Amino acid sequence: MAVGNRVCALVDGGAYAELVNAPAAQVIRVPEDLELRDAAAVPEAACTAWSNLVGVAGLTAGMTVLIHGGSGGVGSMAVQIAHALNAFVISTAGGPERCEQVRALGADVVVDHRSESFADAVLEVTDGRGVDVVLDVVGAAYLADNVRALATNGHLVVIGMQKGRRAELDLGVLLTKRASITGTTLRSRPAAEKAAIVDGVRRHVLPLIADGRIRPVVDTVYRFSEARQAHERLAAGGVFGKILLTP
């Protein structure tokens, strides 16, 4: 890394700024063909998706994964990473148009969570076997069905609680499947773990971005002065991928 390089970074907070401090180990060089602005959509989404799919759940080629919210900032990156790893990718999104957009990112099957039971769909598509990995951004409302959708020895990784933090679970199902559940947050991880995650993203995800197999999905770019509108838009739903703020 040298002065003048184009970089993006996994920051510890405070990124709504023209200048930001980031530990060197959390800085990533931006591939030549990627616009610096679009690179802002990469670090958090890629680090979250990579660390949970690969680091926590051990996703590899030939495995089957369910990624909730393939239409979101994290999900749109996770679908592309899982597809690039040659996993069989099932995803969820709200509405036919968003499902089609997630399919275009490389998902093999997309379930419209507004009109279908994702667990029923997963079991149908996998001939009753279930998926090896679930990456969940929904939380409590999906806990029981996420476990129902898991295969034997499957791994549910919960990274979001958009639909609640408390739920009831039949532990018998977990025991019978020898399944496991992990919850993680990126932000609370110690610096050494963040450095290791960024290193993994640098070595494994960046080359896929550089050669165009993965692209950060940017819905809209707002000015800092429009931050309020950007947040209102995000809160209203319907954003596909990331919203970015620029000076």
Ligand X SMILES: NC(=O)c1ccc[n+]([C@@H]2O[C@H](COP(=O)([O-])OP(=O)(O)OC[C@H]3O[C@@H](n4cnc5c(N)ncnc54)[C@H](OP(=O)(O)O)[C@@H]3O)[C@@H](O)[C@H]2O)c1
13 counts as binding ligand X under rule CB under 6 A: no
Residues numbered 74 to 133 that lie near ligand X (CB under 6 A) are 74-75, 92-94, 98, 113
Q: What residues have CB less than 8 Å from 135, skipping those under 6 apart?
A: 49, 52, 53, 57, 65, 66, 67, 68, 75, 78, 157, 159
**192-215 burial: b if 16+ Cβ within 10 Å, else e:** eebbebbebbeeebbebbeeeebb
200 counts as binding ligand X under rule CB under 6 A: no
159 counts as binding ligand X under rule CB under 6 A: yes
137 counts as binding ligand X under rule CB under 6 A: yes
Piece in contact with ligand X (CB under 6 A), picked from 125-133, 147-155, 159-167, 172-180: 159-167
With CA atoms as reference, report the closest residue to 79 among 116, 113, 45, 55: 45
Among 117, 180, 184, 220, binds ligand X (CB under 6 A): 184
Distances (CA, A) of 65 to 23, 78, 117, 210: 32, 10, 16, 24
CB of 219 to ligand X, least distance (A): 9
CB of 126 to ligand X, least distance (A): 18
Half-sphere exposure of 200 toward its Cβ, with a 13 Å CA cutoff? Answer: 18
216 counts as binding ligand X under rule CB under 6 A: no
Toward ligand X, which CB reaches closer, 130 or 160?
160
Distances (CA, A) of 230 to 88, 177, 222: 34, 42, 7
DSSP-derived pairing of the beta strands 180-183 and 7-9 = unpaired
Among 140, 144, 181, 186, binds ligand X (CB under 6 A): 186
CB of 176 to ligand X, least distance (A): 25
CB of 145 to ligand X, least distance (A): 10
Binding site for ligand X (CB under 6 A): 44, 48, 68-69, 71-75, 92-94, 98, 113, 137-138, 159-160, 162-163, 184-186, 234, 237, 239
